[in-house]
Amino acid sequence: MAKPQKHVFVCSQTRPSGHPRGSCSQKGCNEVLQTFWQELQRRNLFDRISVTYSGCLGPCDGGPNVVVYPEGVLYRGLTKGDVAAIFDEHLLGDKPVERLRAPADVWG
Ligand code: FES
């Protein structure tokens, strides 16, 4: 297997209903994850890009959250409609999609 050039981690954390932190699962992350996998397959990029589900990435209130490495770019509030732009502009074009990025102070 070739070493991927970029890794996409899609938060898929679940929490019980009523939990004070909520979760990306409650905000629709599964649809986002499925769309990442569909685009990966449609574009046949398995040798360049890896898409993995993950546990909580930290800033739950803005989810669904996705982080892309090696840059460490955090995207938040994604819908399935945002995924194609992340492929086109960031994963293939090497320019993060600024309109979808979490603000720098999200890490506190
Ligand atoms: S539950 Fe997704 S970032 Fe915490």
CATH number for the domain harbouring residue 89: 3.40.30.10
Q: What span, in angstroms and rounded, lies between the C-alpha atoms of 16 and 33? A: 20
Does residue 1 lie within any of the structural domains?
no
DSSP 53: E
Q: Contact, 54 vs 11, CB < 8 A?
A: yes
The count of domains in the chain is 1
Whole-number Å distance, alpha carbon 22 to ligand 1 midpoint, is: 8
Q: What span, in angstroms and rounded, lies between the C-alpha atoms of 70 and 42? A: 23
Q: What is the pLDDT of residue 1?
A: 80
Tell me the residue range of the domain where 69 lies. Answer: 6-107
Does residue 73 lie within any of the structural domains?
yes
Residues with Cβ within 8 Å of residue 22, at least 6 apart in sequence: 15, 60, 61, 63
Residue among 45, 54, 52, 30 nearest 87 (CA):
45
Q: Among 10, 12, 13, name the best residue to mutate to test ligand 1's pocket (greatest count of ligand atoms within 8 A of Cβ).
A: 13
56 lines ligand 1 (CB under 6 A): yes
pLDDT in tens, the chain (108 residues): 889 999 999 999 999 999 999 999 999 999 999 999 999 999 999 999 999 999 999 999 999 999 999 999 999 999 999 999 999 999 999 999 999 999 989 876
